């Protein structure tokens, strides 16, 4: 499962890269190709280095001390030590929706945030499973992967918008861009980029589920937590505000209410499938051993 998810992510990132380079070369030649690459690197860099500050601010999270949340500190410290990684910073968001996320460009700059809502509905094992999932995002370098995917998708959209101003595809009078080609660029470019970006995000969620379950050695606890979190997010969806939408892909469950065709653009895979995979993982791993 881990190898499959990794190969899928690499293939999707490669496809995004191919689209951006093809589009850049199409209406700018080698110059357009260079511009596309430079813009992509700049956008990726900004997103990568400031993702933690953006996400924590969007959820109005505050740092917490060990005295405030001793049990949370204990389980995070134990799991980080087990993974031979440094202790991340801990934050709590005042949001009553049950959710959690991890951010930071590497384990040395990582932060884990839980909402007040999640601490009230999960037991010790379930919360430990969630923490294992979030730490796995950091250890799997998913923040970097998400930043690259978002940057590439953004550049494709930017290049598509530039199609209004740069002649591409030829025209009958050579006075402007071919409007048919422009419309295709404007619609299909961002659409394809968005679908691929969301597919990458869903693949990384599956990977974090598997890695987190391995870290905690308790896939059923994470499966149980996901069921409760899913019910909570459906009952209390967050408002679709720009400040929240920018960080939705980081959370363990989609914080918004979605359905129908929106599933194609969902940052998270279906909860039923995630639970099914975890239960299958537990069935194949034998008795669960965990320490409290």
pLDDT tens digits for range 133-179:
999 999 998 877 777 777 667 666 666 666 555 554 444 455 555 56
Q: Residue 181: its pLDDT value, please?
A: 59
Q: Are 102 and 87 in contact (CB under 8 A)?
A: no
Mark whether 134 is an active-site residue.
yes
Residues near 240 by beta carbon (within 8 Å), at least 6 away in sequence: 256
137 annotated among ligand-binding-site residues = yes
pLDDT at residue 5, as a whole number = 46
Residues 6+ apart with CB under 8 A from 107: 85, 86, 88, 138, 139
Taking residue 175's Cβ as centre, other Cβ atoms within 10 Å add up to: 7
CB burial of 182-200 (b: ≥16 within 10 Å; e: otherwise) equals beebeeebbebbeebbbbb
The predicted pLDDT at position 40 comes to 63
* pLDDT at residue 2, as a whole number: 47
**Of residues 78, 116, 126, 134, which has the active-site annotation?**
134
pLDDT at 250: 86
Residues of the chain with pLDDT under 70: 1-37, 39-41, 43-48, 151-152, 154-187, 189, 258-265, 286-292
pLDDT at 135 (0 to 100): 96
Residue 205 is assigned to a ligand binding site: yes
For the whole model, what pTM was predicted? 0.78
pLDDT score of 170: 45
The answer to whether the annotation marks 268 as part of a ligand binding site is no
């Amino acid at each position: 499962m881990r190898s499959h998810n990794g190969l899928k992510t690499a293939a999707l990132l490669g496809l995004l890269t191919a689209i951006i380079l093809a589009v850049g070369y199409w209406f700018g030649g080698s110059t357009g190709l260079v511009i596309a690459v430079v813009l992509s690197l700049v956008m990726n860099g900004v997103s990568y280095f400031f993702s933690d500050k953006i996400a924590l601010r969007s959820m109005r999270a505050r740092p917490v001390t060990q005295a405030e949340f001793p049990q949370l500190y204990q389980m995070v410290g134990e799991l980080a030590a087990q993974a031979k990684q440094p202790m991340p910073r801990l934050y709590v968001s005042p949001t009553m929706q049950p959710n959690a996320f991890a951010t930071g460009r590497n384990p040395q700059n990582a932060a884990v945030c839980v909402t007040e809502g999640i601490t009230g509905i999960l037991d010790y094992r379930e919360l430990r499973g969630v923490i294992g999932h979030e730490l796995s995002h950091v250890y799997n370098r998913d923040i970097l992967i998400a930043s690259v995917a978002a940057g590439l998708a953004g550049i494709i959209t930017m290049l598509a918008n530039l199609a209004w101003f740069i002649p591409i595809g030829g025209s009958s009078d050579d006075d402007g861009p071919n409007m048919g080609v422009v419309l295709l660029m404007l619609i299909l470019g961002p659409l394809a980029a968005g679908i691929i970006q969301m597919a990458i995000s869903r693949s990384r969620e599956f990977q974090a589920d598997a890695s987190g379950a391995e870290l905690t050695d308790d896939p059923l606890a994470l499966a149980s937590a996901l069921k409760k979190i899913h019910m909570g997010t459906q009952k209390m969806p967050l408002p679709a505000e720009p400040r929240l939408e920018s960080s939705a892909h980081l959370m363990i469950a989609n914080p918004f209410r979605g359905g129908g065709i929106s599933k194609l653009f969902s940052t998270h895979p279906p909860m039923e499938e995630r639970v099914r995979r975890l239960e299958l993982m537990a069935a194949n791993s034998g008795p669960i051993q965990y320490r409290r």
